[in-house]
Structure 1
Amino acid sequence: MGEERTLEERLVIVKEEGDEELDLKKRVWEETKKIWIVAFPGMLSRASNFGMVIIAQVFIGHVSALDLAAFALVQSLTLRFINGILIGMSSATETLCGQAFGAGQHHMMGIYLQRSWIVNLITVTLLTPLFIFSAPIFIGLGQDKDVSIASETMSLWLIPLMYLLVFSFTIQMYLQAQLKNKIVAWLSIASVIVQIFFSWIFVFKLDFGTYGALGSFILSNIAVVLSEFIYIFCGGCPLSWKGFSLDAFSQLWPVIKLSVSSGIMLCLEVWYNSILILIAGYMKNATVAIAAFSICLNVSVFEFMICLGFLGAACVRVANELGRGDAKSIKFSIKVNLATSLIFGIVFFTLCLVFGNKIGYLFTSDEDVINMVSELSILLAVTMFSNSIQPVLTGIVVGAGLQSVVAIINLVCYYVIGIPIGLLLGFCTDLQVRGVWIGMICGTITQIICLSIMIWRTNWDDQVEKASQRISRWSKPDESS
């Protein structure tokens, strides 16, 4: 009888282990679905948005090598500089809206959105002189005079784009926090198709050249923003959009603080790439160096924009669960999100190694630029892999509202480690542009290590309590209910 009981006990143990395994698979599948609900539309919209920049660069590159270098300078320095500020500051919208949605405070999401508009519009207005005086700024930084002068008109054309991006970024994060970002994805894809069509008409048929490509770029962004407004104002978000409110002008200081810390966090990362482009301008044959480095960087950023879908998913999932008060679900979501993103990184790493010597032909017919792009392809592949890890880690801390700590990490990893190594290898060895890129990789890998340690040591129960206090302090009753 004792042996029979032992056998029964063993069968029970096996059954329990099987049930646990099935339960784990079910939990992974459910979490994966939640991640992809946010990540996939985010990937489409981010990739489409950045694809619009690449499309403009492609058409300009087939007009003039000088214009290509000028656009690369404006896009890689000024545009990316301000773009980083806006994306970073808009991530405050994602944090606040995500936690409000998780806590069931839907009516506060529209107010948070309007507060972000106020803060970001003021910021853009203060930064417009960077576009107006771009030529003397570039010349003062030691960039090629012809390239700097050619970039002046392009900079003026892009001023309206900055104001459009204020609404585009904040609305996207507002919709994403409530799992309504599919509309943004489809609008972004449609805008890419529109841009390609009008660019072909303006550049090749009407012979408007570079200005035709820039005009198509701006018109496509206008179409996206107008469509987003129509969606929100015409009942697309009945629970979270209650119309314009004077409450948007109250409690601005906490939003400013979170927005500024968010902006600094991401800007230190985006500016890092911009400074590397600036360094490339001091290399031998600066025009080729800037063009090649910019092409590789844009390919890297394009993949990074896809992986930002996982950043958005990590941010939304962490913020939602913080709002609900579930620390265990946060930890589980982090593991599933990171594993999924790593698979993407391996795929892009492999593709870049296989097709690295063909990338340059997509952007230019200049053989010198194409050859330099080919030389950078291996380093580009390594960057592609790291791009799959870093956004998820950043999304986790953004969802928790820990942007100020990450800003310090970014400052040290990029500016104390990455740039000095890039300068040393770029100017003190024969590596030139490759040395600068190696420095960039060193900074990114150090950042990944630091963020991983930070997240591993975070007490998520404490973060749940802090999120609850923040929601209670900044919220107001829903008067419409």
Structure 2
Amino acid sequence: MGSALETLCGQAYGAGKIELLGIYLQRSWIVLHAAAMILMFTFIFGVSVLRLLGQTTTIATAAGTFAVRMIPQLFAYATVIPVAKFLQAQSSIMPMAFIAAVAAVSHVVLSWVTIMKLGWGLVGAAMVLNGSWWFITLAQLAYVLWGSCGLAWSGFSWKAFSNLKGFVRVSFTSAVMFCLGSWYMLALVLFAGYMENPETSVDALSVCVNILGWVGTVALGLNVAVSVRVSNELGYGRPRTARLAVIVVVFTSLLLELFSSTVLLVYKKQYPIYFTSSQEVIRLVEELTLLLGVSTIGNSMQSVLSGVAIGAGWQTTVVYMNIASYFIVGIPLGLLLGFKFNMGVKGIWYGMVVGTSMQCCLLLMMVARTNWNNEANIAGDRIQNWGGDTRGKVDEEKEQFSKPLVE
């Protein structure tokens, strides 16, 4: 839900309406903390929900118990995610990077102490995760509140409670867009729990999904970068520069993920031993490595193009694409291959790859057919509706946009 700020703050900042950023931030806090209160009940009743979904008692109990202990992190997310989007829109990245670096080092050390040395297991993991996220939250919050953001933060205001209905709509659409993508990946692990020898299937998929998440952090960085750049340029009224940013980030992402996939394939017999000592799990991870490599490319491209969509404010359109690609094509195909044709975990993953590939193709078609002049006009209208006027800038850029990108 916080990604709504990427569109609104980014375009407002590009248009020079910096004073709106603080109002947007406070509105997002209100909306996200209300959502966190509702989502908290899914954490509390996690064991029951997983049992209703047919998960084994062992998996349901472990996951549900861990979820209850992660409730503090839920409210940390509701606070820090809007702050992160608020700072990213201003390209204020270094303070966040420094805070994250300190948190990462302390997190690794504390995780090793609590889990490995003290043997606290999931309890220790939950404690460290909660502590790390609240450290990041309080540090970033202090940076914003103590006057480091200039006109972007002028203090708390009652204006934050105005137009909440519209803000909820934008936030909800953004949330659905991201949730469909996240649930699609998590569905892999969920369905693996229904197979024969579910512990091995879940373990192997967890290893692969973790690697996919780690590699995906690069794509996530590009996602944020292109979202900020596109939203800023459209807000300023420079559609030609926004289009150039899209071209650059797509090719950059492709090259980086080709490198990552090559490394995984070359070392497919070595890397699984760092995650598990079970030979059965190691063999299954090796078998899945080719699909993992293909998935890193597809997921990276999808993430980057989603960043373009957020910067331009296309969340609603992308929601429909996600539903079609993931839940009409990808998951049904994966279940068919995995269970009907007895392909097991590989079948489920084949379905996921097909769904992700379809999503990438749809996003690429959408980007290729975009009239960026119109998008700049739409951004100007959006900022004007939410408080401001930027019409002059868009008209100035129109004459330049028809020129070639390289002159």
Which residue number in structure 2 is paired with residue 391 of structure 1?
Answer: 303
Separation (CA, whole Å) in 1 of partners of 2:108 and 2:281? 24
Which residue number in structure 2 is paired with residue 232 of structure 1?
Answer: 144
Aligned mate of 2:64, from 121, 133, 152 = 152
Q: Tell me, yes or no, if structure 1 residue 427 matches structure 2 residue 339.
A: yes
Q: CA deviation at 1:360?
A: 2.3
2:270 is paired with a residue whose SS is helix
Amino acid in the other structure paired with 2:213: V
Aligned mate of 2:374, from 447, 454, 462 = 462
Ranges of 4+ aligned residues in structure 1 off by more than 6 Å: none
Which residue number in structure 1 is paired with residue 262 of structure 2?
Answer: 350
Question: What pairs up with 1:205-244 in 2 under 5 angstroms?
Answer: 205-244=117-156
Separation (CA, whole Å) in 1 of partners of 2:344 and 2:362? 28
Q: CA deviation at 1:338?
A: 1.1
Q: CA deviation at 1:203?
A: 2.6
Unaligned runs of 5+ in 1: 1-88
Are 1:344 and 1:388, in contact at CA under 8 Å, matched by a contact in 2? Answer: no
Which residue number in structure 1 is paired with residue 88 of structure 2?
Answer: 176
Q: How many residues align?
A: 389
Which residue number in structure 1 is paired with residue 11 of structure 2?
Answer: 99
Which residue number in structure 1 is paired with residue 187 of structure 2?
Answer: 275
Structure exhibiting the larger radius of gyration computed from Cα positions: 1
2:24 is paired with a residue whose SS is helix
Q: Tell me, yes or no, if structure 1 residue 441 matches structure 2 residue 353.
A: yes
1:340 is paired with a residue whose SS is helix
TM-score of the two chains, using structure 1 as the length reference:
0.79
Which residue number in structure 1 is paired with residue 78 of structure 2?
Answer: 166
Amino acid in the other structure paired with 1:113: L
Q: Tell me, yes or no, if structure 1 residue 186 matches structure 2 residue 98.
A: yes
Which residue number in structure 1 is paired with residue 246 of structure 2?
Answer: 334
Which residue number in structure 1 is paired with residue 168 of structure 2?
Answer: 256
Are 1:357 and 1:377, in contact at CA under 8 Å, matched by a contact in 2? Answer: no
Are 1:358 and 1:374, in contact at CA under 8 Å, matched by a contact in 2? Answer: no
Are 2:46 and 2:65, in contact at CA under 8 Å, matched by a contact in 1? Answer: no
Aligned mate of 1:363, from 275, 291, 305 = 275
Which residue number in structure 2 is paired with residue 142 of structure 1?
Answer: 54
2:152 is paired with a residue whose SS is coil
Amino acid in the other structure paired with 1:339: F
Q: CA deviation at 1:417?
A: 0.7
Are 2:80 and 2:141, in contact at CA under 8 Å, matched by a contact in 1? Answer: no
Instruction: Kindly provide the CA deviation profile for residues 262-318 of structure 1, in whole angstroms up to 9, marking residues without a partner as x.
Output: 111111111111222211111110111111111101111221122111111111111
Q: CA deviation at 1:359?
A: 2.8
Instruction: Kindly provide the CA deviation profile for residues 419-441 of structure 1, in whole angstroms up to 9, marking residues without a partner as x.
Output: 11101110122420011011000
Instruction: Kindly provide the CA deviation profile for residues 98-128 of structure 1, in whole angstroms up to 9, marking residues without a partner as x.
Output: 0011000111111111111111111111111
Q: CA deviation at 1:239?
A: 2.1
Amino acid in the other structure paired with 1:242: S
Unaligned runs of 5+ in 2: 390-407
Separation (CA, whole Å) in 2 of partners of 1:199 and 1:146? 23
2:55 is paired with a residue whose SS is coil
Q: CA deviation at 1:476?
A: 6.3
Amino acid in the other structure paired with 2:174: S
Which residue number in structure 2 is paired with residue 71 of structure 1?
Answer: none
Q: CA deviation at 1:209?
A: 3.1
Amino acid in the other structure paired with 2:180: L
Which residue number in structure 1 is paired with residue 404 of structure 2?
Answer: none
Which residue number in structure 2 is paired with residue 305 of structure 1?
Answer: 217
RMSD over aligned CA atoms reads 1.4
Which residue number in structure 2 is paired with residue 8 of structure 1?
Answer: none
Q: Tell me, yes or no, if structure 1 residue 320 matches structure 2 residue 235.
A: no
Amino acid in the other structure paired with 1:211: V
Amino acid in the other structure paired with 1:137: V
Separation (CA, whole Å) in 2 of partners of 1:356 and 1:236? 46
Which residue number in structure 1 is paired with residue 396 of structure 2?
Answer: none
Separation (CA, whole Å) in 2 of partners of 1:100 and 1:321? 10
Are 1:359 and 1:373, in contact at CA under 8 Å, matched by a contact in 2? Answer: no
Which residue number in structure 1 is paired with residue 401 of structure 2?
Answer: none
Amino acid in the other structure paired with 1:110: G
Aligned mate of 1:404, from 299, 316, 325 = 316
* Identity rate, percent: 38
Are 1:97 and 1:112, in contact at CA under 8 Å, matched by a contact in 2? Answer: yes
Separation (CA, whole Å) in 2 of partners of 1:213 and 1:388? 28
Q: CA deviation at 1:166?
A: 1.4
Amino acid in the other structure paired with 1:447: Q
Separation (CA, whole Å) in 1 of partners of 2:347 and 2:118? 42
Are 2:50 and 2:64, in contact at CA under 8 Å, matched by a contact in 1? Answer: no
Aligned mate of 1:126, from 6, 17, 38 = 38
